[in-house]
Amino acid sequence: MPAVLSARRLAAAGLLALTMTVAAPLAPTPLAALSAHAAEKGVFFPESFSLSNGMQVVVIPNHRVPVVTHMVWYKVGAADEERGQSGIAHFLEHLMFKGTDVIPPGEFSRIVAKNGGRDNAFTSYDYTAYYQNVARDRLEMVMRMEADRMANLKLTDAVVYPERDVIIEERRQRIENEPADRIGEQINATMFVHHPYGTPVIGWPQEMSTLTREMAEHFYKTWYTPNNAILVVSGDVTAAELKPLAERYYGAIPARPVPERKRVTEPPLTSSRQVVLRDEEVRQPSVRRIWTAPSYRLDPDHQAYALQVLSEIMSGGTTSRLYRSLVVDQKLATSAWLGYGPTAWDMATLSVGASPAAGVPMEKLESALWTEIDKLMKSGVTEEEVATARKRMLAAAAYARDSLTGPAQTLGAALATGQSIDDVESWPVRIDAVTADQVNAAARAVLSQTNHVTGLLLPPTGKDS
């Protein structure tokens, strides 16, 4: 899902290419030059074990530099909140920095920084994660500190209610003062009329102002337990080295019963809907349309991998179909894209959008954009396009191994949303097996749905491009 909130900032929706798609793709390679052999299983080659209290531990060795990324992922997010308490997951993320009996409020990040590291946290619909990037010899220190706040967070009115004012102000600055974020929030709320994915991660303002210390404590005691958490460590360490530390600090925390993640389902809507936002602050108009799509976990027709290949074909850089047609050839847009991310506990979304070039009426851009989508629906993609996209995506997966934080983020998000390590490691094989027929079938299945939502972000009447 699109929204991810950080303890001190709003983070980008795809923190790291969670779906393994290419952020800055290579130029297409001619079909004749494509590799003839099939892709092999394996992306990050992690090691894994479980503690006696049920906590899963994943280690991704990378010995290039003596640095590690230490992450704790909780399998709970904004979509697991009780109705009427929107924003409590993100609020608790902030409050996790407010101290224990051992570490005073605000000292956690100061200690990490004093030791040359960086830390932060982020909340999404389906998970909440806390991380530190530190030198290898500081790993035990951050494990001790993170385990301490997993079990011993101390909240008082004196720290809770000023922090509530902080998240309310964060919403004003990041959402209410940003037209693009405001319309994104409204599009989500229109798309998901019953499911909690329609409620913003940061919360609705009228509910944020009523969040209490008791609510935060209840959410913490309900969900923050080692048997509902995943420890992922990437960098200059092995599982054999990490295991005694994990057992010492996290293994000593008792497990507690965790509720089942119960999510309501969307009603069977069939009508299309439109959201229009006009605002004086709009400098770059845009149009976007979203459809519901299968996620990795909920994919009965096995379309997720084909839709990732579709996204690469349509939006994988300056040679992609949409960019080439709307920006380069027709010169109607400054950007054009198709986005899809299958990492979600429930359904995912597929979106298409564009921003007009100077002087281009929005109606003209819309017409051209929908023409491209109609062309895709009628004529489909070719085997050569699919083969080229697969090659670029497999190259990106290989390069992803060089990152320190990327592997930890990819595996953590996958495991928190119902995937297994084998699912992640099998990604190259599954992408390499995608055919043009599968891409076309998946595209038509999603794009033929009539319950889509279209959003138009525009300047005030009379000031359109």
pLDDT at site 103: 97
Q: How confident is the model over 85-123, as pLDDT tens digits?
A: 999 999 999 999 999 999 999 999 999 999 999 999 999
What pLDDT band is residue 463 in, cutting at 50, 70 and 90? low
pLDDT at site 27: 34
pLDDT at site 5: 56
CATH class of the 47-250 domain in this structure: alpha beta
Mean pLDDT value of segment 127-153: 98
pLDDT at site 39: 83
DSSP 161-201: HHHHHHHHHHHIIIIIT-HHHHHHHHHHHHH-SSSGGGS-T
Mean pLDDT value of segment 37-66: 94
At residue 158, does pLDDT exceed 90?
Answer: yes
Distance CA 456, CA 465 (A): 13
Mean pLDDT value of segment 267-286: 95
Quick check: 181 and 174 in contact, CB under 8 A?
yes
What pLDDT band is residue 421 in, cutting at 50, 70 and 90? very high
pLDDT at site 457: 98
Phi/psi at 118 (5° precision): -130, 145
Mean pLDDT value of segment 402-408: 93
Distance CA 458, CA 424 (A): 40
What Cα–Cα distance (Å) separates residue 104 from each residue in 152, 154, 311, 414? 12, 9, 47, 33
Mean pLDDT value of segment 54-79: 97
Mean pLDDT value of segment 184-212: 98
Distance CA 348, CA 202 (A): 19
When comparing pLDDT for 242 and 4, which is higher?
A: 242
Least confident of 17-21, 310-314, 324-328, 382-386: 17-21
- H-only helix segments in 63-152: 88-95, 107-114, 139-152
Which residue from 9, 13, 8, 65 is spatially nearest to 349, judged by alpha carbons? Answer: 13
Give the tokens for residue 327: 């920006």
When comparing pLDDT for 41 and 462, which is higher?
A: 41
What pLDDT band is residue 461 in, cutting at 50, 70 and 90? confident
| 47-250 and 273-458, same CATH topology | yes
Q: Within a 10 A sphere around the Cβ of 249, how many other Cβ atoms? A: 20
Quick check: 217 and 155 in contact, CB under 8 A?
yes
Give the tokens for residue 361: 């009426």
Strand (E) positions, 203-271?
229-235
pLDDT at site 8: 33
At residue 270, does pLDDT exceed 70?
Answer: yes
Mean pLDDT value of segment 376-398: 96
What pLDDT band is residue 35 in, cutting at 50, 70 and 90? very low
At residue 330, does pLDDT exceed 60?
Answer: yes
pLDDT at site 23: 31
In the sheet that holds 453-458, the strands lie side by side as 273-278, 453-458, 286-293, 348-356, 333-340
Give the tokens for residue 93: 């993320």
pLDDT at site 230: 98
% of residues, the chain, pLDDT over 70: 91
Measured in residues, the chain has a length of 465
Distance CA 133, CA 70 (A): 6
Tell me what the pLDDT averaged over the chain comes to. 92
Least confident of 25-39, 297-311, 397-411, 413-427: 25-39
Residue 34 sits at the vertex; the CA angle it makes with 29 and 37, to the nearest 5 degrees, is 155
pLDDT at site 26: 31
Residues with catalytic roles? 93
Distance CA 173, CA 379 (A): 44
What Cα–Cα distance (Å) separates residue 112 from each residue in 133, 200, 338? 9, 30, 39
Give the contacts of 362 (CB within 8 A, at least 6 positions apart). 285, 287, 356, 456, 458, 464, 465
Fold category of 273-458 in CATH: Cytochrome Bc1 Complex; Chain A, domain 1 (3.30.830)
Mean pLDDT value of segment 359-388: 97
Distance CA 216, CA 411 (A): 27
What pLDDT band is residue 17 in, cutting at 50, 70 and 90? very low
Centroid of chain to Cα 127: 9
What are the residue boundaries of the structural domains of the chain, listed by start?
47-250, 273-458
Report pTM. Answer: 0.92
Q: How confident is the model over 21-30, as pLDDT tens digits?
A: 333 333 333 4
At residue 195, does pLDDT exceed 80?
Answer: yes
